[in-house]
């Protein structure tokens, strides 16, 4: 049963072996980077996918066309996740297109870096607004839809799944990035609190903490050989992560193979959180 994360015979009876067959997913910030790779992995696993974007409509449309070739439905939806009205409209659009929603991937995020003494309130508010408030607004809308619709045991054991993309900086302090690290630490406790609050409803809420992944957000950390060598000092596994490393984890966490997992973060970081400075004994 290649490609099926669940044990044969474990999970809903259906005529398709793909682990997310018949499920409907929304991935925020999915016109590039990690979000795009996650959306593709969910589509490969059989889910219909709504791709959210703010800029880069052409890239989102191109990805949707690519995913339709995998035999699933794919739509694009423009929305700034930090704006309540736009998030509500995005969920209405997605639910109209697909009928309902089973999986939310809270992926949209950004950095606006500055030393604390020069960081503006606007930079602080923007990063918290997108990375943390955006995840709250989307999670709230998803929970409302999961509860409105009720169980769909033919596609999943859970009422719904929410995957929060955080960062190793949910636990590693990051000088010069206080807004970003605070937003990701906030995502961790938001995720755990929602998991606790919603477990009895059979809604699973989990986190993925990427380490250094090759995407536009951190181009300066990998695009020259010098930068790459310096980056690898922080990565015991001695390679940069690829968006597909995160995507595989997300597709698995969304599937019934991970049905007993809620309220925890999966670190996908090549060991970045293993105190690399102590690699040779400290």
User: Is 216 near ligand NAD (CB under 6 A)?
Assistant: yes
Please state, in angstroms and rounded to a whole number, the distance separating the CA atoms of residues 127 and 56: 20
Pick the closer one to ligand NAD by CB: 203 or 246.
Answer: 246
**Cβ partners under 8 Å of residue 171, min gap 6:** 185, 188, 209, 273
The full DSSP string for 213-279 is: B-SGGGGGGTSSHHHHHHHHTT-TT-S-B-HHHHHHHHHHHHSGGGTT--S-EEEESTTTTS-GGGT
* Catalytic-labelled residue, pool 21, 53, 180, 275: 180
Q: Is 172 in the site for ligand NAD (CB under 6 A)?
A: no
Which of 41, 45, 64, 81 binds ligand NAD (CB under 6 A)? It is 81
Q: Which stretch binds ligand NAD (CB under 6 A): 30-38, 62-70, 142-150, 191-199?
A: 30-38
**From 16-24, 199-207, 215-223, 257-265, span contacting ligand NAD (CB under 6 A):** 215-223
User: Is residue 228 among the annotated active site residues?
Assistant: no
Cα 225 from Cα 232, distance rounded (Å): 11
Using CB under 6 A as the binding rule, whether residue 128 contacts ligand NAD is answered as no
- Select the residue interacting with ligand NAD from 107, 133, 255, 262 (CB under 6 A): 107
- Report the residue number, 127 or 195, with the smaller CB distance to ligand NAD: 127
Strands 265-268 and 48-53: unpaired
Q: Which two tokens stand for residue 210?
A: 């990427």
Residue span 221-260 as binding mask against ligand NAD, x where in contact by CB under 6 A, dash where not? ----------------------------------------
> CB of 19 within 8 A of CB of 7?
no
Secondary structure of residue 208 in the 3-state scheme: strand
Residue 55 burial (C-beta neighbours within 10 Å; 0-12, 13-18, 19+)? exposed
> Applying CB under 6 A, does 186 fall inside the site for ligand NAD?
no
Only segment of 11-19, 52-60, 88-96, 258-266 that touches ligand NAD (CB under 6 A): 52-60
The arrangement of strands across the sheet holding 24-27 comes to 74-78, 48-53, 24-27, 103-106, 160-165, 203-210, 265-268
Any contact of residue 101 with ligand NAD (CB under 6 A)? no
Residues serving a catalytic function are 180
Residues in contact with ligand NAD by CB under 6 A are 28-29, 31-35, 52-55, 80-82, 107-110, 130, 165, 167, 210, 212-213, 215-218
């Amino acid at each position: 049963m290649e490609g099926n994360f669940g044990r044969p015979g474990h999970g809903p009876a259906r005529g398709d072996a793909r682990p997310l067959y018949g499920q409907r997913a929304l991935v925020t910030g999915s016109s590039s980077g990690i979000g795009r790779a996650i959306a593709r992995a969910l589509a490969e696993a059989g889910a219909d996918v709504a791709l959210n974007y703010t800029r880069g409509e052409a890239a989102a449309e191109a990805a949707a066309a690519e995913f339709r070739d995998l035999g699933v439905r794919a739509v694009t939806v423009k929305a700034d996740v930090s704006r309540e009205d736009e998030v509500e409209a995005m969920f209405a659009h997605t639910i109209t297109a697909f009928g309902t929603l089973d999986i939310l991937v809270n992926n949209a995020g950004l950095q606006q870096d500055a030393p604390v003494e020069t960081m503006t309130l606007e930079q602080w508010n923007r990063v918290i607004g997108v990375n943390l408030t955006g995840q709250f607004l989307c999670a709230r809308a998803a929970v409302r839809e999961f509860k409105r619709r009720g169980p769909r045991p033919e596609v999943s054991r859970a009422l719904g799944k929410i995957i929060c993309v955080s960062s190793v900086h949910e636990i590693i302090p990051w000088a010069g990035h206080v807004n970003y690290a605070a937003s990701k630490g906030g995502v961790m406790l938001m995720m755990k609190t929602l998991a606790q609050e919603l477990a009895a409803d059979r809604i699973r809420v989990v986190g993925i903490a990427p380490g250094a992944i090759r995407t536009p957000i951190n181009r300066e950390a990998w695009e020259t050989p010098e930068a790459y060598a310096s980056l690898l000092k922080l990565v015991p596994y001695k390679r940069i992560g690829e968006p597909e490393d995160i995507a595989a984890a997300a597709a698995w966490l969304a599937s019934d193979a991970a049905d007993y997992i809620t309220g925890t973060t999966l670190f996908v970081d090549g060991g970045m959180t293993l105190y690399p400075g102590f690699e040779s004994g400290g």
